[in-house]
Structure 1
Amino acid sequence: MESLRRVQQMLIVLIEVQRWPTLLSPSEINQVAARLGHIGDFKDIKSDGYLVEALVHLWDPICSAFRLGKREMTITIEEIAGFLNLLIQGTAVIFPLVSNKVEFCHFTGLKELAVRGSDQRIEAKFLFDRFALRDGFERHLGDFSFTSKEMWERKRAWVYGLVMAGTYFFPRKDKKIAFKVAKILYDLFLGVKDKQCSIILTILADIFVACITCQRGEKFFCGSNLILHVWGMEHFMRRSFIPESLPMSGYNWIVTHHKTVNRNSLPCNASEFVDFLKNKTDQNARWVLDWTNCVKPVLRTKASEFVLLLGTQGITAYTPKRFLRQLGRTQEVPPAFDVSEFTIIFNEGTCPSEFPMKDRIIEAWVTLSDDECFKYVPKLKQKGLTTPQYEDWVRKSAAQAPQDELVEEVKKLKAIIEARDKEILQLSKSVETHKGIAEQNKQLHENEREKCQELKRKCGELYDQAEHVRIPYARETRDSVLDRLRNFGNVVRNRLRDMM
């Protein structure tokens, strides 16, 4: 059994984040749900991380798909949109540009002095104490740039969405909330050019980029691992007795997820999950998820057969026509694109203000469209049908796969070596820095030791003089004694002045 590299994930949520939804009113919850889905219920999703580790191992960056034996599957725009009950069409694209402390404080209404010591991130508990608790405004009044309780009530829902999105959609290893999430939430709540925004594109892009970077050696999955976990469980571990006809619109799929999947016979580790997924037959996979809207899915854009995706961690793309079975259609031979050519990983997870393909991303998002050549047949949506031409194409692809796998393994090893070299270089710089600091500290210690020796010598001299002063001379007058004591006092003061 192949041993897989561990992928660190956001599996344990802070208690403050779990409590937060219970402290809000239904209107506040619904205000956030209209933009982020029922995100507060993500606390009920349980994952051990093994399925996501297996999916990362099976990820193919060339086609943005998980290769499960001869089967290709991926997480689609419609699957995320349906799971969160959010719109796709007619929405504006979000540009998750980096936000500094000033912009973060403008969004939250906090004073910059209150957010001290924060480097592009902030503790969730800090925000919980000021916005989640009912007396947070009164207890921390001095931390806000406003004095109106009404304004605090408005900001309260915004900050709740900020913390939930920063925890479940754009997690960090240190479990803090990144300032850049504030820009995303700002666009979601206020829109862009009077147009409502959608977070679907950003979530999907970060999941894809996280799969790529973890394959290259990154240790933490900087995407929504819980959404990817739910996606895999619903496709491959769904209970057979769940009814087919479930409500589509307005249904909370998050809280019912644990009822629809079978957790009794889960593989015990990531390696077993890989074998399980590779050996899963087409008949045992659930091709179309309950919440997937297959009526008018995104199959292309006006300009191309692939869809560019922009996230907080980078840019990538995928070709929807490779995954027609997940959209209730018969799978035909898909257009062949190496989407890895469009992949750009942002340095340190920071989206620059200017980047390649910006105009193409905007154009693509406003021209998302269906393709009438591929008909949707509801009765056949769970059959996972394919054309004979597709089967021939798959067989040829499978024959080419071993060579491609070797090439990919070489690329992965190169990426891992580069990541290790980068890590070693950073460690070397750190060692040099600390070495210089150590030399400075050593010199300071020597200087202090010399000063200490000098102080001891001077104190010894004062002690000797004090002994002489203490013993009076024979037949010494009182005035003479006082003069001698006065002179000794002056000597002591001068010595103390020298020591200071």
Structure 2
Amino acid sequence: MEINQNVPNIQMIVSPPHDLQTWWRNIRVAHGVEVKQHLGSLMSLIGIQANKTFTKLLIEFWDPASVTFNFLDFEMTPTLEEICGFTDLPFEGRMPVLPSFISGEKFLHILGFNVYPVLRNVENDRVKFDFLFQRFGRRESFERHQGEFACDRGRWEKMRPQVFAIALLGILVFPKRAYRININLLPPVMNIFSGPDELTLVPMILAEMLRALSACSRGHNCFEGCNLLLQLWAVEHFYTRPPIMDYCIDARSRIQSHTERMRYWHGPTGAEEWYTFLVQLTGDAVQWKYPWLSGRPLVRTANLYFIELIGLEGIQPYAPLRVLRQFGVTQDVPVWSRMALHEGNYDRLVPMARVRNLQREWLNMITIGMGNESWCTPEYYAWYNVGALALLPTEDGFDGFTDYDVADWLTVEVLPLMNVNNDMYRKVVLGSVNHLIQLVEEEDPAESDEPMEEDPEEDPEWDAERDLAIEIEPEKSPEYTPAGPSKEDMEVQSEHRPTVHGIEEGPEYDPEAGWTDTEEEPEYDPGPDYDPAYDRDDNDGPTWP
């Protein structure tokens, strides 16, 4: 585990502006149903307070090469299914929404403005939040700024929920510095609100979150992903709890009920406590699978060992095969490849041919069934601890999820050095390699109360070649003779024969005399009162007077 301690002081959303809450209250009655239909529970992020210290420390454990958080003995990353569960956004069976770059003039024109009088409010593809709130956030905003609009009040009222969605996404989900909003959010929002019900925002949200983690780990000082969702995701994984605690929560959104689920967790508070907690965190101390997670997770494409997510400002690789335990599936050595070549910024030019091809492939993703055993194999621990990225990537062409060539090599070459056997992970819910080694030490035969089985190799009279020939292939042994009872008789009498290891005792077989008992029965003694003169009946037993 390598910790990146060069992460700068990062700017991020700590709490949403008060005017955003006011805006939501003002349109909730008239447009609340429409907004929730397309944005799910994202409005609930308005009530979340960010823990900036925790998020900054968490970024220190992020590895852009593997697109995962690297802790002491395990990897973890936000998944599409988890983000979908938190946000209640439509996802299953839908394709990702596509990005698009537009000019400031076009942005203002679509919103119904007279372009040139207000064009100065758009700069470098950014528009101030306050500009949009003053013109769409209140019921009387149209009358106050009517001279700036080229549309009537009916069209203005129709645009209000979409402009609110742009503001919400631009402040909390895809944030920029100083409450500036990316005007390129307009095309995705319009496609979701006005287009057919076949598009989803979930891949774009996750893509920008992962891109922000990688950018900040490399020195960027502004987190331009949804740090509020990242915080909820991490804290709920770090709090182990019985599943019933999640099912007892009421039917509100999982963002709203987050505080109630965490009410019994006494986690770290300050920076030092959080750092110590994260450094010492092991796989047996996390909540691997959320109890409410369901469905069939997307894990890879037909040609790649990962998934390329279409972000708002770039394409981001995502490798769920490395974190199968978050789906309740046993983690083995994953097939993997270097993903850095698949990262890319649009730089104001979206590669439409590529993103449309990724969109078409979306419904043909390879999925896996959700499980309930968040374990892993000893080979995975060996693979993780020897430095997964130091090994060669998996060769192209594997159809499954596990790199069996590397797993077999680890079984033969590495696990014996770690005192770990292949069957041990079935006996315990694994936490770490140290846990396994400790288990081996506790089962040391030298300290066991059970009698040790003698090693036949220490017996000077033991002939391995001869005895193995008798045990395994008796018909090829020179000491074997087929004389004796028939095969059917031998099968019937097999219950009484001595086993190979001498566990059972019974009659022995003599090729000439047949089956004989090992001990002769003693002769019957009738006792001192027996008189042979009175023994006149036909029975074999004695007769007493």
Structure 2: which 5+ runs fail to align?
A: 392-545
Alpha-carbon shift at residue 26 of structure 1 (Å): 4.1
Counterpart for residue 80 of structure 2: 77
For residue 230 of structure 2, what is the aligned residue in structure 1? 228
Please tell me whether the aligned partners of residues 99 and 313 of structure 2 are also in contact (alpha carbons under 8 angstroms): no
Please give the per-residue CA displacement for 1:242-291, whole angstroms capped at 9, x wherever unaligned: 6143589x74111111222257542412x653431231232321111244
For 1:107 and 1:277, locate their aligned partners in 2 and report how far apart those are by CA, in whole Å.
47
1:145 to 1:177, Cα distance in 2 relative to 1, 3 A: same
Q: Residues of 2 paired with 1:3 and 1:317: CA distance?
A: 23
What SS class does the counterpart of residue 66 from structure 1 fall into? Answer: strand
Alpha-carbon distance between aligned partners in 1 of 2:262 and 2:74, rounded to the nearest angstrom: 21
Q: Is 1:95 the equivalent of 2:98?
A: yes
Which structure carries more relative contact order (alpha carbon 8 Å, separation 6+)? 1
One-letter identity of the residue aligned with 2:126: R
Say whether 1:173 aligns with 2:173: no
Name the CA distance, whole Å, in 1 between partners of 2:155 and 2:7: 50
User: Which aligned pairs between 1:434-473 and structure 2 lie closer than 5 A?
Assistant: none
Q: Which runs of structure 2 are paired with 1:100-115 in the superposition (5 Å)?
A: 100-115=103-118
SS in 1 for 2:176: coil
Equivalent residue, structure 2, for 1:217: 219
Q: d(CA) in 1 for partners of 2:180 and 2:91? A: 29
- Using the alignment, how far apart are the partners of 1:274 and 1:88 within structure 2? 35
Number of equivalenced pairs: 385
Residue 29 of structure 1 deviates from its aligned partner by 1.9
For residue 309 of structure 1, give the secondary structure of its aligned residue in structure 2: strand
Question: Which whole-Å CA distance do the structure 1 matches of 2:244 and 2:118 have between them?
Answer: 49
Q: What residue in structure 1 maps to residue 17 of structure 2?
A: 14
Mapped contact 1:173–1:220 kept (Cα < 8 A): yes
RMSD, aligned α-carbons? 2.6
Q: Percent identity?
A: 26
Q: What's 2:494 paired with?
A: none
Residue number in structure 1 paired with 2:160: 156
Which has a greater percent of helix?
1
State the 1:195 CA deviation.
Answer: 5.1
* 2:316 aligned partner, one-letter code: T
Cα deviations by residue, 1:191-216 (Å, 9 ceiling, x for unpaired): 2xx45311111111111111111122
> Structure 1 residues 264, 387: closer, same or farther in 2, change over 3 A?
closer
The residue number in structure 2 matching 1:370 is 367
Cα 1:121–1:172 change in 2 (3 A) is same
Q: Normalization by structure 1: what TM-score?
A: 0.71
1:298 and 2:304 matched: no
TM-score where L is the length of structure 2: 0.65
Pairwise CA distance, 1:62: 1.6
Name the counterpart of 2:326.
326
What letter is aligned with 1:108?
L
CA contact (8 A) 2:7 2:219 kept: no
Q: Flag structure 1 segments of 5+ consecutive residues without an equivalent.
A: 402-500
Q: Deviations over 1:108-136 (max 9, x none)?
A: 22221353312122222222122121111
In structure 1, distance between residues paired with 2:367 and 2:69:
23
Matched with 1:497 is: none
Alpha-carbon distance in structure 1 between the residues aligned to 2:308 and 2:12: 25
Query: Is residue 308–residue 317 contact of structure 2 (8 Å, CA) maintained in 1?
Result: yes
Aligned with 1:183 (options 178, 184, 187) = 187
Shift of residue 337, structure 1, vs aligned partner: 1.6
Instruction: Report the alpha carbon displacement of residue 93 of structure 1 after superposing the two structures with TM.
Output: 2.4
**One-letter code aligned to 2:134:** D
Alignment of 1:46-65 (within 5 A): 46-65=49-68
Alpha-carbon spacing, 1:376–1:358, altered in 2? closer, same or farther (3 Å): closer
Cα offset, 1:83, TM superposition:
0.7
Q: 1:162, 1:181 within 8 Å by CA — same for their partners in 2?
A: yes
2:113 aligns to what SS in structure 1?
coil
